[in-house]
Structure 1
Amino acid sequence: MKKFLLALALLVVTISNAQKGSMLLGGNVGFSSEKLGDSKSENFEFSPKIGYQFADKWTAGVEGSIKTFKNTGSDSAEKYKIGGFVRYATPLSELFSVYADLGAGYQNASINNAKGMYVNLTPALFINMKRGFGLNFSIGGVNYDNIDGKNDPRQERLGFDFGKTFNIGVSKNFGL
């Protein structure tokens, strides 16, 4: 199943800048592994998006995320998110566009049945290759989330991570 999700995620890595009346399909995939002595942890995340460009510069859609955590000596855990997003894009030339995604929604973690919400703002650069294909680059953004479990105290995080993360993806615009 993980190989299928990885192949699907590589096919549609991130949402693209598109033309009015088109569908956008994409997402991100991530994996990390860390070993300290005899302890090992692995994380896998798949975050699909689908949207519709309803005006020349505006796109709205649905986004989600499934993340699994595995640590040596403990049970694996899952966290998922489901929400909506809106994108505003501005072309700089035929080759380049800039855009910002604003997303918000619900999140749930399997540990202690924790529930909460998230909000994020991510600016990015789109490079138009041809035939609706392009490259997308982002270097972080602003995000807030909270989560509250049955036996755990409420957790709140506010992040400003410009320059701390780097994402690159391939995208495709599907005309209707």
Structure 2
Amino acid sequence: MKKVMLSLLVSALSVASVYAQKNTVLVYGSVNAESQKQVNGSKVNSFNFSPAVGYQFTDNWTAGLALTTGSMKATTSVGGEVKTSSFAVGPFIRYAMPLSDIFALYGQFNADILSSKTAGVTSNGVRGTFFPAIGVNMKNGFALNFSFGGLSFASQKPKGASDSMTDFKFNFGSGAGFGISKNF
């Protein structure tokens, strides 16, 4: 039951706005928390907070700045511990297309500068992420938002290393999230 509740918490706390209104400010973000306990007794706890703010310069286009900060603590079955902290900041661009008075489809691209520290080793890099989502307009500017995967590429280089680590993810349909938004 604990795993189900944590999974729902991770999915439910994603917040984003769908219905762009010209000359307004968009504020959205997400909060993710996860706790895993393995059969061998090891544990992993993580927390991420990702706020963003943007300006809706047309009825369809929004541009802004997104920030992500996170931490993770992994404990092995023999008592060893590894801590990781991460930070990302960068611009985003979003295109929203109303399908009706109730539904809208949007796509968003984020470009981030990354920084992390794991067991005293720092890494810096870049990441690009694209994700599509659907919004359902409720009432008084409130909307429910449903995302269903995305595409991302990241490259990070640990301090002192000669090579970068790269990560490519294509996960359309393999993950879903939802949130509540309000357009001010």
Partners in 2 of 1:98 and 1:171 — Cα distance? 14
Q: Which of 127, 139, 146 in structure 2 is aligned with 1:137?
A: 146
What residue is the counterpart of 2:54 in the other structure? 51
Q: Which of 92, 113, 121 in structure 1 is aligned with 2:122?
A: 113
Residue identity opposite 1:60 in structure 2: A
- Residue 86 (structure 1) aligned with residue 93 (structure 2): yes
- Residue 156 (structure 1) aligned with residue 166 (structure 2): yes
Task: Note the alpha carbon deviations across 1:18-77, whole angstroms, 9 max, x for none.
Answer: 210111111111111111222111011111111110012100011011111111122421
Residue identity opposite 2:147 in structure 1: S
- Residue 101 (structure 1) aligned with residue 108 (structure 2): yes
Deviates more, 1:66-75 or 1:42-51: 66-75
Partners in 2 of 1:44 and 1:124 — Cα distance? 23
TM-score, normalised relative to structure 1: 0.88
Would the aligned equivalents of 1:15 and 1:49 in 2 still touch at CA under 8 Å?
no
What residue is the counterpart of 1:3 in the other structure? none
Aligned residues between the structures? 166
Partners in 2 of 1:144 and 1:126 — Cα distance? 25
Q: Percent identity, aligned pairs only? A: 39
Partners in 2 of 1:169 and 1:123 — Cα distance? 14
TM-score, normalised relative to structure 2: 0.85
- Could you tell me which runs of 5 or more consecutive residues in structure 1 were left unpaired when the two chains were aligned: 1-5
Partners in 2 of 1:22 and 1:110 — Cα distance? 37
Deviation, 1:151, is 4.5
Would the aligned equivalents of 1:15 and 1:27 in 2 still touch at CA under 8 Å?
no
Task: Note the alpha carbon deviations across 1:109-130, whole angstroms, 9 max, x for none.
Answer: 0122100000011111011111
Partners in 1 of 2:150 and 2:96 — Cα distance? 16
Would the aligned equivalents of 2:25 and 2:56 in 1 still touch at CA under 8 Å?
yes
Residue identity opposite 1:41 in structure 2: V
Deviation, 1:15, is 3.0
Cα RMSD (Å): 1.7
Would the aligned equivalents of 2:20 and 2:61 in 1 still touch at CA under 8 Å?
no
Over 4 Å off, 4+ runs: none
